[in-house]
């Protein structure tokens, strides 16, 4: 076709569990625990491997209220729904 341009989709950057903490500012163990609890950034499981999309990591950061994300004493966990919960017993 004349005048038409095809655009190739640029693949989104994927981060491993060891790389993702540098984006969200969490420790690797914290991110592992959030994944186990079902909170935190969305992830992809490909067989036995785990990946995080860059957009999921950035969306997670956007969903965390700044005032709560800074209160480490309460160990607040910010979920994808932008509501924060405090783990019981810890």
pLDDT in tens, 14-53: 999 999 999 998 999 999 999 999 999 999 999 999 999 9
68 domain-assigned: yes
The domain of 37 spans 14-85
- What band does 60 get if pLDDT is binned at 50, 70 and 90? very high
- What band does 73 get if pLDDT is binned at 50, 70 and 90? very low
- Produce one character per residue of 33-55: b if its CB has 16 or more CB atoms within 10 Å, e if not: ebbeeebbbebeeeeeebbbbee
- Residues of the chain above pLDDT 70, percent: 68
79 domain-assigned: yes
Total domains in the chain come to 1
Residue 78 has a pLDDT of 52
40 domain-assigned: yes
Residue 78, domain CATH = 1.10.10
9 domain-assigned: no
8 domain-assigned: no
Higher per-residue confidence, 56 vs 86 = 56
């Amino acid at each position: 076709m004349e005048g038409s341009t095809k655009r190739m989709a640029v693949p989104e950057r994927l981060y491993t569990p060891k790389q993702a903490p540098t984006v969200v500012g969490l420790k690797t163990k914290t991110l592992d625990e959030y994944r186990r609890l079902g909170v935190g950034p969305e992830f992809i499981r490909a067989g036995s491997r785990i990946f995080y999309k860059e957009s999921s990591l950035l969306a997670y950061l956007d969903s965390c209220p700044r005032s709560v994300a800074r209160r480490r004493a309460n160990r607040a966990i910010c979920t994808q729904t932008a509501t924060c919960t405090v783990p019981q017993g810890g």
